[in-house]
Amino acid sequence: MTVEIDGDGIALVTIDLKGQSMNVWNEALMTEFAAFIEKFCADDAIKGAVITSGKKSGFLAGADLRMLGGGGITGGATDKKELFARLFNLNAMLRKLETSGRPAKKLMSGEASAKPVAAAVNGLALGGGLELVLACHYRVCADDPKIQLGVPEVQVGLLPGGGGTQRLPRLAGLQQAAIMATQGQPIDPAAAKGFGIIQEIAPAGEIVAKAKAWVKANPKVAQPWDKQGFKYPGGAGPTHPAAVQFHIGSNAMAQRETQHNYPAVQHILSCLYEGSIVPFDTALRIESKYFGKLVTSPQTRNMIRTLFINKQAAEKGEQRPKNVGKTPIKRVGVLGAGMMGAGIAYVTAKGG
């Protein structure tokens, strides 16, 4: 990660993990980013910041699941406390970024304001990558329909654990946040702009300049949820009839679809509901609590190992015996024409 401060006092933060094809949240990046935030909040010479990526592959693709998928977490009380503390560090870090370390009460009353932070999104932003974007006050995305923006954690049995279950509904509304978080499907920049997730789309070569221009023009800012009188999009607060109907209906549908065998979906909906009836900082702690429950659950740990860690190992041939040459396969015979046999025949034929 590099930080360049221009003559206007605007810090350009470029995330570019060495030796990796894609930026991800890992321990090294979190340590560097936390150090920058401390300096950003304390140094009056820094007036604002723009966050972007130095990789052509994308902005930031979420967390490195290898931090969570090891065999050392058993699900005991000690593990859950350690996980909560570790995860809440990320939430606290992003919260400090968007408040500049100012107390929420002073932001709410107008006694204080935060330094402006803008995201210049040059490529896909998924999971913790999108959550970083959401913690910025202004979000500019490159004009490329292939860019993916989303929170796919549910696909490996997790929930968005960096504030996503709280910032997303406050920007896009409860229903859209629930769809994105419980289904895990990404959207393109045009759709994201329509939902209020990003504010501007621009040519890739102009996003940093536009982000800097916004920061320079808005020296005193606060997130919508840190302002007096904030309401969810559409005015659907926790007691609004539409919100009550949504929470009842979505939970019933989740139980029908998952049969209680897929706790991530239920926990996401719990975060959306519980987070809507408490102050924002408390809502972040609720999210971290449910994330800790998921990470220590057997369902989630098995999904992370099977769908991420072991899948990558298999694709790299890590279990292949050493000093054994490759054997070219020219013909494949399949005995049986049931579902399994037909499937093997199909993928074999498709592979040439």
238 Cα distance to chain centroid: 24
pLDDT digits (tens, 9 = 90+) for 265-303: 999 999 999 999 999 999 999 999 999 899 888 888 888
Picking from 285, 286, 280, 283, the residue whose alpha carbon sits closest to that of residue 104 is: 280
Q: Which amino acid is at 350?
A: K
Q: Which amino acid is at 316?
A: K
Any bridge partners for residue 139, and if so which?
Answer: 119
Q: Which amino acid is at 211?
A: A
pLDDT digits (tens, 9 = 90+) for 293-318: 998 888 888 888 888 778 877 888 88
| Intra-chain end-to-end CA distance of the chain, in Å | 43
Q: Quick one: pLDDT at residue 80?
A: 66
Q: Quick one: pLDDT at residue 71?
A: 47
Q: Quick one: pLDDT at residue 72?
A: 47
Picking from 166, 151, 177, the residue whose alpha carbon sits closest to that of residue 88 is: 166
CATH of domain 2-302: 3.90.226.10
Query: Contact 83/151 with Cβ under 8 angstroms?
Result: no
Query: Contact 132/119 with Cβ under 8 angstroms?
Result: yes
Q: Quick one: pLDDT at residue 77?
A: 57
CA distance 184 to 126: 10
DSSP H helices, the chain, are 27-42, 77-99, 104-109, 128-134, 164-172, 174-183, 189-194, 207-217, 241-258, 263-276, 280-295, 298-304, 310-316, 339-350
Q: Quick one: pLDDT at residue 48?
A: 98
Q: Quick one: pLDDT at residue 69?
A: 54
* 3-state secondary structure at position 221: strand
Q: Quick one: pLDDT at residue 265?
A: 95
Any bridge partners for residue 119, and if so which?
Answer: 51, 139
- Which portions of the chain are predicted below pLDDT 70? 68-80, 236
**Within 10 Å of residue 158's Cβ, how many Cβ atoms?**
27
